[in-house]
Amino acid sequence: MSGDPIHIGNHPTASAVNDIDTLALLRLQSALRAGHFANDAREPIRGTAPSLFIGATANPMAPDPDVEISKIRAKMQAGADFFQTQLCYDPARVATFLDRLRAAELPSWPRLLIGVGPFKHLRMAVHMRDNVWASMCPRAWLPAWSRRTMRARKACRSASSSSRSCVHWKASRAATSWQSHGSARCRRSSCGPDCGPAPARQLDD
């Protein structure tokens, strides 16, 4: 993996060191695993050679799958044993990429770790869509999540407001009987069931 450009980090004026690229790094690790240095003399390593399982990146979301597959082929030839992707949220597109990969006649089937994981909140989805390389969030998902988030916020505000309208809750909101139950519901026997209802569980936005 080449990594992010220097200028987008927190030291944008630092000098980039480009002595080796991705393929050269893979070849270097492969040489070390084979028991020699990656110099012209191929000097042998003293002692036991390191046991390495060499990984690289793959991008099933690439706009041109054939170009991406050619990169995978080059990385395998350079010594990569497995490939890891970013989080993938479009299964159909991943399946299409795998079909193209099967038809590519690679030397062997590449070991793939397809990234999966839930979004914690809407902001994470938007951030992944706008800022994370090779991670694609389907456009149709975001409006639906946005509407769900707004409904959850509205319900939470409504429940919170009604719970604070109870005079008993206002007068005794620090009562240990309520705190111990983790609820804002009024517990006086003289109040009805609608007096100070407990707020609804708030969803992350």
Taking residues 64-91, what's their average pLDDT?
93
Structure confidence at residue 102 (pLDDT): 93
- Any idea which residue has 């191929």 for tokens? 42
- Cα separation, 144 vs 151, whole angstroms: 11
What is d(CA 192, CA 173) in angstroms, rounded to the nearest whole number?
Answer: 17
Backbone angles phi, psi at 65, to 5 degrees: -60, -35
Query: 106: alpha, beta or left, given left = phi > 0 and alpha = psi -120 to 50?
Result: beta
CA 203 – CA 77 distance, rounded (Å): 48
Q: How far apart are CA 188 and CA 125, in angstroms?
A: 44
Annotate the chain with DSSP letters as a single string: -----GGGSS-TTSPP--SS-HHHHHHHHHHHHHTB-SSTT-PBPSSSPP----EEE--TT-S-HHHHHHHHHHHHHHT--EEEEEE---HHHHHHHHHHHHTT--SSPPEEEEE----SSHHHHHHHHHHSTT----TTHHHHHHHHHHHHHHHHHHHHHHHTT-HHHHHTTT-HHHHHHT------TTS-TTSSPPPPPPPP-
Domain identity same for 38 and 64: yes
**117: domain CATH number?**
3.20.20.220
The pLDDT of residue 172 is above 60:
no
130-148: pLDDT as tens digits = 777 777 776 666 666 666 6
59 plus 12 within the same structural domain: yes
Residue 34 has pLDDT above 60, yes or no: yes
Q: What pLDDT score was predicted for residue 74?
A: 96
Residue range 80-127, pLDDT digits in tens:
999 999 888 888 999 999 999 999 989 899 999 999 888 787 788 788
Query: Is residue 173's pLDDT more than 60?
Result: no
- Average pLDDT taken over every residue of the chain: 76
Cα–Cα distance measured from residue 99 to residue 95, given in angstroms and rounded to the nearest whole number: 6
Choose one of 86, 111, 138: the last residue of a domain: 138
**12 has a pLDDT exceeding 70:** yes
Name the domain boundary from 115, 138, 161: 138
Q: Is the pTM of this model over 0.75?
A: no
Do 133 and 154 reside in the same domain of the chain? no
In the predicted model, what is the mean pLDDT of residues 25-31? 94
> Based on the domain organization, do 26 and 90 belong to the same domain?
yes
Residues 49/32, Cβ–Cβ less than 8 Å: yes
pLDDT, greater one: 179 or 23: 23
